[in-house]
A and B are shown apart, each in its own frame.
Chain A
Amino acid sequence: MHEPVLLQRQATPARDLGTYLASGGLAGLKKAREIGAEETVRIVTESGLVGRGGAGFPTGRKWESVRMAQDPERYFVLNADESEPGTFKDRVMIDVDPYMVLEGVLIACYAISATRAYIYIRGEYRREAQILQCCAEELAAAGYLEGLGPEGSALSIEIRRGGGAYICGEETALFRSIEGYRGEPMSKPPFPTVAGLFRKPTAINNVETIANVPDIVTRGPAWLRTLGTPRSPGIKLFSVSGHVERPGVYELPFGVPLRELLDLAGAHDLQAILLGGAAGTFVFPRDFDMPLSYEAAQEHHATLGSGALIAFDHETNLWRVAERLGSFFAHESCGQCVPCRVGTRRQHEMLETLAEGRGGSDERDLLVRLSQVMTDASICGLGQTASTAVRSLIEAEAEGLLAV
């Protein structure tokens, strides 16, 4: 049985600083300040921690390039704009252990000598924004932000609530949103570590990623690798919803078979799951023994993404599900580039036809053709992945895996 790390305080949530300190909180920050920024970054790098928001970029490498940047003005941004359909782990993480999230933020800010920290939180997460605000104020009042800001001043943490757009979870669009502009993605390169928020070197991390940091710093560089698989060290939060008896957030080490997670959540006799959110892929029972690791997912032409898992029983018309996904992407496309702006619209129109049981191989062929254009030519990840699930469904249908 896996001993929870990220959800270690789920049974008795630390809702005030005293409780957090009593259960070992802020030990990571204390240690980081003792060993120094360079050593802290080294530990995070060697730990093997990669971003849990979906892209999987090594966290330590991000921090190192911001730490080494020439410009003294640099930022840390916590991406709490959790908007991927079926993903709700960050909300639970903030709710269960807000101080651990903030401790991770403070360690990151210390490690990169951040000028200021921004927390960009999904607009609908009003309660979680208030929790973080209260906790940040409490940490400031207790003096824990002292000396973390520029030239030994107190670090300032600014909480920004998102305006309700999925695209603002894309890091460059998120920066534009904080800056007061329309949330539209920018091209990479330049990457955020070179020119991010306000065109300054910026480290941006997902909530779950940053929640790993206090324990990594406390327990040392080798600890995370004692969990998970060699190529996917550590633990992952999975948001499980849909046709299961016990929906919720589950913490598991990487490498556990998908079937075990389904059993934990009480899934019986499923037709399929959607793994990785709207930008993920449909996975069918023949692949349910797949280990939940980045490398195994890749071998199965799937993606863990943000760890969202939506379960569907045999009554579900998966084309209807795909139509809802299509609607989602058409609604959330920012409209900047042609392949995504027009492509998501055309994709949704064709999916409407297929969901109604009309249409045939022409629509399917055209969807695949359109998918290639969107994947290749869109500016950002939204357009590039807006057809991933649809493509996986078309392939599964050709193999006769659909029930309805």
Chain B
Amino acid sequence: MADTFGILIDGREAIAHEGETILDVLRRAQVETPTLCTHEHLTPAKACRACVVDLKGSRALVASCERKAEPGMEVRTDSERVQNARRGVFELLLSQNDVSTAPSLAAQAESLGADPDRYSGRRYEKGFFDDNQLYVRDYDKCILCYRCVEACGPDVQNTFALTVAGRGFNAGIAAGFGETLPDSACVFCGNCVAVCPTGALMDRREHSLRSEGRWDESRYDVVQTTCSYCGVGCQLELHVDRASNEIVKVTSPMDHSITQGFLCVKGRYGYSFVEAGAE
């Protein structure tokens, strides 16, 4: 087939298809690759550098999430250089962020052997924002993966309420020109919350339950249903507390053909009528 070719991964031949990224090939070949910023439905931000690989002929390491596979490429993931860079990325993040609600980040850091105490210094303190009824923003947990910006922007929502502001260590996510969310262009679809990998963005109910020490995923059933607000047919996953029969969160499957995991404000947050009807 013309659109299929081989590339070498750690000396072994792997099949790549035209248009695939190196990361796509790595995953199919079951080469474990840490990732933070990349997301199946978003443009690769190539910002976290967790997925870097050593590409023959390239001076610096390249982000496998972004770089398209090309015939004849020789990629190494098992070299000390790659492992050191990946470990370094996690060690730097651990030195600045609160990762208490980022289990995937913590697990990947551990499997790379990252030392959380390698670097000391100023923590990333961008503050906790509680300015609306639907979700909270705890930017001390933000790793600036750009997922929320992309979901809010051209990849999903085309609302452009969120952007990156500031430079260097002081860079952070901002709504509009440093406005509160209600004063910004935000339409509260919550798609930024859906893609946030660290819990920096969190639905209000989940945040309340967590701060009361009452968030316990083992107690929740996931109920599939179809959103009843309009005719689009978005699939919803209602996360329901088995004991109290309360909905604690609404999501949509990332692989659903209509939503691709994304919803509007009504589907994601307009569920209290269900509980009202139960009385």
Is there an interface contact between A342 and B46, defined as CB atoms closer than 8 Å?
A: no
Q: Does the CB pair A341–B89 fall under 8 Å?
A: no
A369 and B85 alpha carbons, distance in the complex (Å): 10
Within 8 A of B (CB), among A346-381: 346, 349, 366, 369-370, 372-373, 375-379
Q: Is the CB of A378 within 8 A of B122?
A: no
**B 104-137 contacts with A by CB, 8 A:** 118-122
Does B8 have its Cβ within 8 Å of any Cβ on chain A? no
Chain A's closest residue to B44 (CB) is A187
Whether a CB of chain A sits under 8 angstroms from the CB of B166 is yes
Q: Is A309 an interface residue (CB 8 A)?
A: no
**A contact residues around B66 at 8 Å (CB):** 187
Judge whether A23 is part of the interface by a CB distance below 8 angstroms.
no
| B122 and A376 contacting across the interface, CB-CB below 8 Å | no
A342 to B120: give the CA distance in the assembly, Å: 11
Number of interface residues of A (CB under 8 A): 31
Task: Flag if B49 contacts A377 (CB, 8 Å).
Answer: yes
Partner of A346, one of B89, B119, B167, B171: B119
Select which of B84, B92, B171 is within 8 A of A334 by beta carbon: B171
In the assembled complex, the CB of B90 is this many whole angstroms from the nearest CB of chain A, namely 9
> In the complex, A378→B168 CA distance in Å?
13
Question: Do B92 and A331 have beta carbons less than 8 Å apart?
Answer: no
Q: B170 in the interface, Cβ–Cβ < 8 Å?
A: yes
B47 contacts A373, CB within 8 Å? no
Q: Kindly provide the distance from the CB of B197 to the nearest chain A CB, expressed in whole angstroms.
A: 13
B158 to chain A, nearest CB (A): 16
Name B60's contact: one of A336, A349, A369, A375 (CB within 8 Å).
A375
A332 on interface, CB distance cutoff 8 Å: yes
Interface of B is mostly: loop
How far in angstroms is the closest Cβ of chain A from B125?
12
Interface check A165, CB cutoff 8 A: yes
Known contacts A342-B96, A346-B119: A182-B84 contact under CB 8 Å:
no
A339–B92 touching, CB < 8 Å: yes
- Decide: B47 and A377 in contact? CB cutoff 8 A: no
Q: Does A104 contact B (CB under 8 A)?
A: no
Q: Are B144 and A341 neighbours in the complex by a CB distance under 8 Å?
A: yes
Residue A345 CB within 8 A of the other chain: yes
What are the residues of chain A within 8 A of B144 when measuring CB–CB? 335-336, 338, 341
Chain A CB within 8 A of B99 CB: no
> Are A339 and B168 closer than 8 Å at their CB atoms?
no
Q: Which residues of A contact B95 (CB under 8 A)?
A: 342, 346
Interface string of A27-62 (1 = CB under 8 A from B): 000000000000000000000000000000000000
Assess whether B67 is interfacial by the CB under 8 Å rule.
yes
- The closest CB in chain B to the CB of A379 belongs to B46
Contacts of B163 in A (CB 8 A): 182
Q: Interface of chain A, helix or strand or loop or mixed? A: helix
Asked if B248 lies at the interface with its beta carbon under 8 angstroms from chain A, I say no
Contacts of A304 in B (CB 8 A): none
Residues of A within 8 A of B89 (CB): 338-339, 373, 377
A336 and B92 within 8 A (CB): no
B88 within 8 Å of A by Cβ? yes
Whether the Cβ atoms of A377 and B169 lie closer than 8 Å is: no
Are B92 and A342 in contact, CB atoms less than 8 angstroms apart?
yes
Task: Evaluate contact between A373 and B84: CB separation under 8 angstroms.
Answer: yes
B16 CB-CB contact with A under 8 Å? no
Alpha-carbon separation in the docked complex, A384 to B121 (Å):
21
Interface: A343 (CB within 8 A): yes
Closest residue of chain A to B165, judged by CB?
A182
In the complex, A165 Cα to B166 Cα: how many Å? 11
Which residues of the other chain, A, contact B121 by a CB distance below 8 angstroms? 345-346, 349
Q: Report which of A331, A338, A346, A372 forms a contact with B84, defined as CB distance below 8 A.
A: A372
Kindly list chain B residues whose C-beta atoms are within 8 Å of the C-beta of A373: 84-85, 88-89, 92
Report chain A residues within 8 Å CB of B167.
165, 331-335
CA distance A370 to B91 in the complex (A): 10
- Would you call A377 and B85 a contact (CB within 8 A)? yes
Q: How far is the CA of A349 from the CA of B119 in the complex (A)?
A: 10
**Are B93 and A376 in contact, CB atoms less than 8 angstroms apart?**
no
Q: How many Å lie between the Cα of A84 and that of B84 in the bound state?
A: 29
Looking at A331, A341, A379, which has the most chain B CB atoms within 10 Å of its CB? A341
CB contacts (< 8 Å) of B120 on chain A: these are 349
Q: Please, which residues of chain B bring their CB within 8 A of the CB of A366?
A: 118-119
Residue pair B46, A187 in contact (C-beta under 8 Å): yes
Asked if A139 is at the interface of the complex by the 8 Å CB criterion, the answer is no
Return B182 CB to nearest CB of chain A, in Å: 24
Pairwise interchain contact B92-A337, C-beta atoms closer than 8 A: no
Smallest Cβ-Cβ distance to B143: which chain A residue: A338
Say yes or no for B48: interface residue by CB 8 A criterion.
yes
A341 to B166, CA, bound (A): 11
CB neighbours (8 Å) of B62 from chain A are 187
Q: Report the minimum CB–CB distance from A334 to chain B (whole Å).
A: 6
Contact B52 A377 (CB under 8 A): yes
Question: Within 8 Å CB of B46, what residues of A?
Answer: 187, 337, 379
* In the complex, chain B residues 48-65 whose Cβ is within 8 Å of any chain A Cβ: 48-50, 52, 60-63
Q: Give the complex CA separation of A122 and B3 in angstroms.
A: 45
Judge whether B73 is part of the interface by a CB distance below 8 angstroms: no
Bound Cα distance from A348 to B236, whole angstroms:
48
Contact A384/B168 with A338-B49, A349-B122, A377-B89 known, Cβ cut-off 8 Å: no
The residue in chain A whose Cβ has the minimal distance to the Cβ of B171 is: A335
Name the one of A165, A344, A375, A379 contacting B169, with C-beta atoms under 8 angstroms.
A344
B28 — which chain A residues lie within 8 A by C-beta?
none
- Interface assignment of A102: CB less than 8 Å from any CB of chain B: no
5 contacts between A and B (CB under 8 A): A333-B167, A341-B168, A342-B119, A349-B120, A373-B89
Q: Which 7 A-B pairs have the closest CB atoms?
A: A335-B171, A373-B88, A333-B168, A342-B92, A345-B169, A377-B85, A349-B121
With contacts A165-B167, A339-B49, A341-B169 known, what are 14 further pairs, Cβ within 8 A? A182-B164, A187-B63, A330-B169, A331-B167, A338-B48, A338-B89, A338-B143, A343-B88, A346-B119, A346-B121, A372-B81, A372-B85, A377-B60, A379-B47
